[in-house]
Chains A and B, each alone.
Chain A
């Protein structure tokens, strides 16, 4: 009871601390983005072929881009406080709707990637550490090195060439088969089918990272005194590995996974682009070149909130993995 209370108090305190951090991120992003030459009106008019200066002035006034920067920032902050993320003039749609539409595909890709990467990473790292200096260790280490060093877009394209074009097992791109428009359970199956290649591609890089980290972490733990003690107690190697060493070795991996959730949103741009996956990364990328600042700020806001939340979750997980780490 005491512990639950403590955790609750801790979580709410951390959440409160998160608010000024997120506000600072908004302000910083706002000015950074406004440093770029040209605005949304330039891009829109440029794409349209030609437009009169009066028309462009009219658009600027409509988008509120004619006001001085500090005023624009205040208006934006005021809207954010009331949970209104503003309007994307480029898409002629509220930012929140655009982001929510694209958030689910991102979440799907992110969660499946993390499960695959962390799961297999821990497994392979464990296997390599247990079979130190055998052929298994060598194979895993070389595999990790190669996947870590290979550019993501190349892996993605090779996956398409091999598994879509040559074997025909998976579709090349997209999130669902849009010639068929499946419904219900067929649709779930169809989306899962489309998810396979992007997930594997994105996982490979992180998988290598976790494998190497897990292996090193395991080896480090093996050398510590408590392992010697456990051995002296007469525990089996099996019990030492799985109950004592594994648990302690997990800590750095969990830390890393937490940090990388944030990076995954941005880092998936390449995979989203190669596989035409309709996620947030691509949306952010396109908005940057369209100078759709409202949309971009909205995406940044969401990512920073996500990072704050995930870091909090990781800290709480810590205390479960290692009861010596106290929160409060």
Chain B
């Protein structure tokens, strides 16, 4: 009797849990989340600006998405096949997908999106699809990419944020940057654009005809713009907004909110963005043209201290020119000259050996230090760095300007000596790191490229080899050499890997299925009341 009872209980429990799993997701509800700052347009195919990334990938989709382990998840493409020489990639596209205006999605859209849009006007598209010479469309659901050289990194650039597929019938023959689509997006994604109230919110409604079998579950998602950080925190505390990514809630508040039962904080969802804090040096003129000085600076900085005191423990000391997130693909290697806790004595020794003597007041050289104008944290960072540099006899003045002035100074006029900044290293070094070091990336007037004007033919050769090498082991060896050179020459001193915070209300479930995090679709997200 007892046994039967136990058994029936077990069966009941199993049934219940099955039932529970199958019907876990609840449909309905409006999910309000923070978008900071308000984006200029919604043209994710022209701009990779952060706030556009928070909204456009809900409307547009890519060929693939990536799960948290980096595995490709089929989205608009169901599968792909690569030829043995790596020069032909054939994509089988999903059938029965339509644009929000009802027109079918076909291989012509893929061809147009890559060749006419992303390769032409997207900020990173020309790099991602550099080797793609043409795309054949043998039928409406097959797209064949013809490559000049193998491009292993390209397969990491198919997410909705990085390479959105756009409707050919809305853009063909138009000025891509001024097209109406920019403010009235039409995609294939789980949510449709409804309304944009400037200064207030953008509203997206559920796409009832979505191709996916599960989801979307939410009736509406609304991106709200709240300019003041303290008010954003209050709105989160009050339950008026349920989700805030990319430090919309500052770290100082996030560590406080974390203690509450109804609010969670996570650092997941940024691995393919891969932000790295760093100092760029002018290697052509000014006090920092000597690599020894730059090595000394890298040696002196207490990276862990910056992370702990300024970023509330969120971050990871850099150990090379590449982020440790590249360990997954075997490309990251630890290098010397990157002590996590700083070594003032060693740094002083480097400078002494290089012949920079201290004067009567302990100063070896003077300079100006520009700070990225993206918020208070960076000013605090600059103040700390000024102190450390003073300890090794380098006296710097801090300079903090507004964004346009700063961009012009660093990337147009090269009128700087050292500059605190951060770069997205993205999902592959070819996409995010090469632009910082290659001679071909010294481009006056282009932002976030090689502003140091560092040029090393040996490194250029290695960068080219790393770009086309399809074999993982050989590729790792190439990148080890690259990192060795960069740890020696240090045109850029990497500081630490930033860990952005996402603060969310625990009512919101399953918002983090993808490695793209907040730049993914919310397609599986649902509200539990």
Contact = CB atoms under 8 A, between A and B. Distances in A.
Interface of A: 36-39, 42-53, 55-56, 59, 62, 90-93, 98, 101-102, 105, 153, 157, 160-161, 164-165, 168, 171-176, 178-181, 272-276, 278-279, 282-283, 286, 289-291
B472 interface: no
Contacts of A172: 231, 234-235, 238, 240
Contact of B46 (A39, A48, A178, A272): A48
B284 interface: no
B448 to A, nearest CB: 5
Given A42-B407, A53-B445, A62 B177 contact: yes
B355 to A, nearest CB: 37
B47 A44 contact: yes
B198 A278 contact: yes
B277 interface: no
Interface stretch (B58-66, B120-128, B264-272): B120-128
Contacts of A178: 30, 32, 200-201, 203, 222, 224
A36 B408 CA distance: 11
B435 interface: yes
A276 B238 contact: no
Interface in B205-240: 222, 224-228, 230-231, 234-235, 237-238, 240
B381 interface: no
A93 to B, nearest CB: 7
Interface string B465-504: 0000000000000000000000000000000000000000
B49 interface: yes
A36 B401 CA distance: 11
B446 interface: yes
Given A38-B408, A160-B234, A286-B38, A43 B199 contact: no
Interface residues on B, range: 35 or more
A161 B234 contact: yes
Contacts of B49: 47-49
Task: Give the residue among B124, B402, B443 with the most A Cβ atoms within 10 A.
Answer: B402
Contacts of B124: 49-50
A102 B38 CA distance: 14
A36 B405 contact: yes
A189 B49 CA distance: 36
B346 interface: no
B438 to A, nearest CB: 13
Given A44-B47, A92-B178, A160-B234, A175 B404 contact: no
A319 B123 CA distance: 62
Given A47-B47, A53-B445, A173-B231, A279 B183 contact: no
A176 B175 CA distance: 36
B286 interface: no
A56 B445 contact: yes
Interface in B79-134: 121, 123-124, 126
